Amino acid sequence: MTKFQLKIVFYSLFLLTHSVFATANEASAQQQVNVAADVSTDAEINSGAAAVAANSEHRYVYDVYYKSISIGDMTQEYRWKGKNVEVNSVADFSFLYFSFGGSQQSDIVWDETKDLFLSRSFFRESVGFSTVKMSAKFDPTGHHSEVVNNGESAEYSNQEGPIVDFNTVTLQIGEGLKKGQTDFEFYMQTSDDIAHYYFQLKGTEVIKTKFGEMEVYRVQQTRKKDRTFIAWFAPHFDYQMVKFEYQRKVLDIHGELVEHGTDF
- In sequence order, what are the residues at sequence separation of 6 or more whose Cβ sits closer than 8 angstroms to the Cβ of residue 164? 28, 29, 30, 108, 117, 118, 119, 138, 142, 172, 186, 187, 188, 189
Number of domains in the chain: 1
> Tell me: the pLDDT tens digits for 166-214?
999 989 999 999 999 999 999 999 989 999 999 999 999 999 999 999 9
> Tell me: the pLDDT tens digits for 52-96?
446 899 999 999 999 999 999 999 999 999 989 999 999 999 988
On the question of pLDDT at 126 being above 80, the answer is yes
Q: Confirm whether 205 is domain-assigned.
A: no
- In sequence order, what are the residues at sequence separation of 6 or more whose Cβ sits closer than 8 angstroms to the Cβ of residue 192? 147, 149, 154
- In sequence order, what are the residues at sequence separation of 6 or more whose Cβ sits closer than 8 angstroms to the Cβ of residue 31? 116, 161, 169, 172, 173, 176, 184, 185, 186
Question: What pLDDT sits at residue 96?
Answer: 81
Q: Confirm whether 71 is domain-assigned.
A: yes
Q: Confirm whether 58 is domain-assigned.
A: yes
On the question of pLDDT at 143 being above 80, the answer is yes
Q: What is the distance, to the nearest Å, from the Cα of residue 209 to the centroid of all Cα atoms in its chain?
A: 20
Q: What percent of the chain has pLDDT over 90?
A: 67
Q: Confirm whether 225 is domain-assigned.
A: no
Mean of all residue pLDDT scores within the chain: 83
Q: What are phi and psi of 6, to 5 degrees?
A: -60, -40
Residue 164 belongs to domain spanning: 3-200
Q: Confirm whether 83 is domain-assigned.
A: yes
Question: What pLDDT sits at residue 211?
Answer: 97
Is pLDDT larger for residue 231 or for residue 1? 231
Q: What is the distance, to the nearest Å, from the Cα of residue 100 to the centroid of all Cα atoms in its chain?
A: 19
Indicate the DSSP class of residue 256. E
Residue type, 245: E
Is pLDDT larger for residue 141 or for residue 31? 141
On the question of pLDDT at 24 being above 90, the answer is no
Question: What pLDDT sits at residue 41?
Answer: 32
Q: What are phi and psi of 237, to 5 degrees?
A: -105, 35
Q: First-to-last CA distance in the chain?
A: 40
Taking alpha carbons only, the member of 157, 162, 138 closest to residue 32 is 162
Q: Confirm whether 94 is domain-assigned.
A: yes
Distance CA 249, CA 203 (A): 26
On the question of pLDDT at 215 being above 50, the answer is yes
Q: Confirm whether 222 is domain-assigned.
A: no
Question: What pLDDT sits at residue 19?
Answer: 43
Distance CA 221, CA 100 (A): 26
Question: What pLDDT sits at residue 60?
Answer: 97
Q: Confirm whether 65 is domain-assigned.
A: yes
